[in-house]
Amino acid sequence: MNVKLKLAVASLKHNTARTFYMTVLIAVICFSVFSGETVTSGLCDGMESLKKRLGADIVVIPSGKSRQQNFEEILLGGKPGFFYMPNSVVTEISRLDGAEKVTAQFYLASLTADCCSTELQIMGFDPESDFIVMPWLSKSYAKKLQLGEVIAGSDVFVPRTGIIKIYNQDMKVVGSMDKTGTGLDFTVFTNTDTVKLMLRSAQKLGVSATDADPDRVVSSVMIKVRDGFDKSDIVDTINRTMAGVQAFENRDMVTSFTSKLNHMTLMIKSLVGFICVLAMIMVVFLFSVMINERKNEFGILEIMGFTVRSLLAVVFYELVFICMAGSLAGVAMAAVWSLSFKSFLESELGVPFLFDCSESFLLHACVTAVAGTILSLLLLLPFVLKALRTPTEVVMRE
């Protein structure tokens, strides 16, 4: 073994406590950075995937104070709900100049009662005009959905028979979706005809909360705006000219969640920052004390004829070891932590959260570990350089 490396190892071993504390502190920094990072990026990814899945530029739903919140809870929170407006709205909107594509959706909530397997959100789309649900649904089921067939979100419990009962109607589950980290995971998707079938059945059973004629209502209308048209103009037009409905842009749709998310991200980031700064101060303090004690050692080595470069190498090896061990341990613990607390985060934070042990996650972990190593080295090396400037002759005599 190289003499310098040997010296570094001997010193690390000899000063176990010192090595341990430094490593732990660096691990704390890396842990907080990486777990903070995973949580915030999981939140952002969940949000992004949701926005992508919404696909529409403008959403129109019945007017009413809590409707928008209702709508967001269906999509994000996995809290079943429904609301209806006359289906004449669809024709009216189709006539608008800037509307390139228009499609209606039909929502229904099942109950936890004898007639239903479980409480679920049902989202019906119109296969003729749909441009929102089918593009990503086709990944789970390429064929056309028949009457009585549904596709289940990733968290919907499907019995082995593949049949779920909704308002006494047996629904055949023909596919299931990838995880989105949103309310869509608790939703079953089907065509409008099937939803209407369910609603009628519910009305016959006398458990429906609405007596609206299924053939005359829709829940929401999604609009894709033609290029060259201003979205907010169209929103304005709809809100001004149509009674009983409200329109808003996709971007505003998840406002409450976006602000919640931003709030949370900020909180996490400041917490991470606080921990990091604290740990860094401690690392620097510990290290400068330790390096001061080691001026003596440097002097001894210089007396023996070690070059300054060799001295640097010795300390550098030690630091690399400490920083690397600390970063790896921190990142590994953060990874394990985020994986095992994933469901907790999903349910407790109550916001879309997307996070998987994927390649990019592992890559991210590696990058964080390497960056942690390099940054902690950069943080500590100036102290080494300063200590090396002490004249040897002083050491020799004192």
Contact residues: ligand ATP, CB under 6 A = 394, 397
Q: What is the closest distance, in whole angstroms, from the C-beta atom of residue 394 to ligand ATP in the complex?
A: 6
The two most distant CA atoms of the chain are separated, in Å, by 101
Contact status: 289 vs other proteins (CB under 8 A):
no
- Type of residue at 342: K
Q: What is the closest distance, in whole angstroms, from the C-beta atom of residue 291 to other proteins in the complex?
A: 15
**DSSP structural state of residue 156:** S
Considering beta carbons, is residue 296 or 343 the nearer one to other proteins? 296
Contact status: 391 vs other proteins (CB under 8 A):
yes
Task: Pick the closest to residue 185 from 193, 194, 176, 175 (CA basis).
Answer: 176
Considering beta carbons, is residue 45 or 302 the nearer one to other proteins? 302
Single out the residue of 114, 240, 307, 338 in contact with other proteins (rule: CB under 8 A): 307
Q: Of the ranges 84-92, 95-103, 161-169, 298-306, which one interacts with other proteins (CB under 8 A)?
A: 298-306
Single out the residue of 5, 11, 275, 374 in contact with other proteins (rule: CB under 8 A): 11
Q: What is the closest distance, in whole angstroms, from the C-beta atom of residue 397 to ligand ATP in the complex?
A: 6
Single out the residue of 50, 198, 301, 351 in contact with other proteins (rule: CB under 8 A): 301
Q: Inter-axis angle of helices 255-293 and 295-303, to 10 degrees?
A: 50
Cα–Cα dist 125/372, whole Å: 48
Cα–Cα dist 369/282, whole Å: 20
User: Which residue has 């921190």 as its token pair?
Assistant: 330
Single out the residue of 304, 340, 358, 359 in contact with other proteins (rule: CB under 8 A): 304
C-beta separation of 323 from 26 below 8 A: yes
Q: How many residues make contact with other proteins (CB under 8 A)?
A: 29
- Please tell me the chain's helix, strand, coil percentages from 3-state DSSP, rounded to the nearest 5: 60, 15, 25
Q: What is the closest distance, in whole angstroms, from the C-beta atom of residue 393 to other proteins in the complex?
A: 4
C-beta separation of 214 from 176 below 8 A: no
Cα–Cα dist 357/124, whole Å: 32
Contact status: 367 vs other proteins (CB under 8 A):
no
Considering beta carbons, is residue 299 or 330 the nearer one to ligand ATP? 299
**Who contacts 115 (Cβ-Cβ below 8 Å, separation ≥6)?**
165, 166, 167, 168, 202, 205, 207
Q: 124 - beta bridge partners?
A: 106, 190
User: Which of other proteins, ligand ATP, none is residue 197 near (CB under 5 to 8 Å by kind)?
Assistant: none
Q: What is the closest distance, in whole angstroms, from the C-beta atom of residue 287 to other proteins in the complex?
A: 17
Q: Inter-axis angle of helices 3-14 and 16-54, to 10 degrees?
A: 90
User: Which of ligand ATP, other proteins, none is residue 302 near (CB under 5 to 8 Å by kind)?
Assistant: other proteins
Single out the residue of 14, 95, 160, 240 in contact with other proteins (rule: CB under 8 A): 14
Residue numbers of the site for other proteins (CB under 8 A)?
A: 3, 6-7, 10-11, 13-15, 296-297, 299-310, 391-393, 395-398
